[in-house]
């Protein structure tokens, strides 16, 4: 029987209650995972607090990040102790829906499936801004317009709701510690990079998106504003430039080309239609946000492309490769 370990990474006591809710959502699954690993990222006070909270739960393992500070290092620390055949990841501010484990694990009956991710619905803690386009839900770590509506292969998975066979890490190594979010800096793409790296090593295997494997991802008010939107777009562009340098622009930007050429123009037209035909002035805001988001992301990419990967970063990434 295929077993599942789920890793939740946390770095701040501000999300202590959210973290506990994430762990509880796994405890309440119809089929529970083999273990839930909570990896605390260089925060001794939080480690102590969470350890006390879950003391006595044999299937909840609390560890500290023993690698470089940041999300990638915390994930790798979790991977190093995980016992499951499949290793899943859930954000500390996300809640898994009932049946999430079953929906994830069903797909692994196919030996060609290397990883599975699911639908991530935004749970706005304040009112969702009328100007915020669903095409840019990735800004808040959620499933966005343009993703498949049924189970289908995808280039890469999204970090708040994803899983991989253990063999993925055995084959190509761990998440790059030179990439990914550190504290609140809105960078990312370490999930994109590792998926592309595995595709290049094992082109016959696939990553699946299964919309039936659902989680809700909390979106606090501080992320429901123009400042965060622009910042997240800019750093996404810079992160994509780093990925392209590492894996090549052909693979690194394959999904983005289709998204830019097909999804975004339709989103602009929908926003303008809503404004003109439905007298919904927020439609103008959504159309504008798409254009601004695209150009801000592009600007971040150009800035990142002008800064080649440093030799120190290349050697650090190399340490993530398997040693065998």
- pLDDT value at 260 more than 80: yes
- pLDDT value at 130 more than 60: yes
Residue in this structure with the two tokens 């979010």, named with its chain if needed: 181
Instruction: Say how many C-beta atoms besides its own lie within 10 A of residue 43's C-beta.
Output: 18
What interhelical angle do 264-277 and 282-305 show, nearest 10? 160
Tell me: the pLDDT tens digits for 98-126?
Answer: 999 999 999 999 999 999 999 999 999 99
Domains identified in the chain and CATH numbers:
4-318 (3.90.550.10)
Tokens of 292: 């601004």
pTM of the model as a whole: 0.91
- pLDDT value at 249 more than 60: yes
Rounded CA-CA distance 321/66 in Å is: 17
User: What is the rounded average pLDDT for all residues in the chain?
Assistant: 91
- pLDDT value at 318 more than 80: no
- pLDDT value at 185 more than 70: no
User: Residues near 133 by Cβ (< 8 Å), separated by ≥ 6?
Assistant: 145, 267, 271, 286, 287, 289, 290, 293
Q: Lowest-confidence range among 19-28, 83-92, 124-133, 230-239?
A: 230-239
Confidence of residue 244 (pLDDT cuts 50, 70, 90): confident
Considering only CA atoms, which of 78, 40, 42, 76 is closest in space to residue 180? 76
Rounded CA-CA distance 213/219 in Å is: 19
- pLDDT value at 241 more than 60: yes
Tell me: the pLDDT tens digits for 1-58?
Answer: 899 999 999 999 999 999 999 999 999 999 999 999 999 999 999 999 999 999 999 9
**Res 1: pLDDT:** 85
Confidence of residue 320 (pLDDT cuts 50, 70, 90): very low
Tokens of 300: 């971040």
Residue in this structure with the two tokens 């080649």, named with its chain if needed: 308
Rounded CA-CA distance 79/63 in Å is: 11
What SS3 class is residue 320?
coil
**Res 17: pLDDT:** 98
Confidence of residue 129 (pLDDT cuts 50, 70, 90): very high
């Amino acid at each position: 029987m295929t077993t599942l370990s789920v890793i939740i990474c946390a770095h701040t006591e501000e999300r202590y209650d959210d973290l506990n809710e994430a762990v509880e959502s796994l405890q309440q699954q119809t089929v529970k995972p083999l273990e839930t690993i909570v990896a605390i990222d260089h925060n001794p006070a939080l480690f102590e607090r969470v350890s006390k909270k879950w003391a006595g739960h044999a299937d909840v393992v609390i560890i500290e990040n023993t690698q470089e500070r940041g999300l990638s290092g915390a994930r790798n620390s979790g991977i190093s102790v995980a016992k499951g055949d499949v290793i899943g990841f859930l954000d500390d501010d996300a809640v898994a829906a009932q049946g999430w484990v079953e929906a994830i694990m069903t797909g692994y009956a196919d030996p060609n499936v290397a990883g599975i991710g699911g639908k991530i619905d935004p749970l706005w803690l304040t009112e969702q801004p009328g100007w915020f386009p669903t095409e840019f839900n990735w800004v808040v770590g959620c499933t966005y317009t343009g993703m498949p509506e049924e189970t289908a292969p995808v280039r890469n998975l999204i970090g708040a709701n994803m899983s991989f066979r253990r063999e993925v890490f055995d084959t190509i190594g761990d998440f790059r510690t030179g990439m990914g979010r550190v504290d609140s800096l809105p960078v990312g793409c370490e999930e994109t990079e590792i998926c592309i790296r595995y595709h290049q090593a094992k082109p016959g295997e696939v990553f699946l998106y299964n919309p039936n494997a659902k989680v809700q991802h909390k979106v606090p008010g501080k992320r429901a504003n123009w400042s965060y939107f622009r910042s997240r777009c800019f750093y996404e562009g810079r992160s994509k430039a780093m990925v392209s340098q590492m894996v090549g622009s052909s693979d690194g930007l394959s999904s983005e080309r289709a998204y830019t050429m097909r999804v975004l123009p339709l989103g602009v037209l929908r926003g303008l239609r809503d404004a003109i035909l439905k007298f919904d002035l927020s439609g103008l805001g959504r159309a504008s946000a798409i254009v601004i988001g695209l150009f801000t992301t592009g600007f971040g990419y150009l800035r990142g492309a002008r800064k080649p990967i440093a030799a120190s970063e290349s050697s650090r990434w190399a340490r993530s490769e398997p040693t065998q």
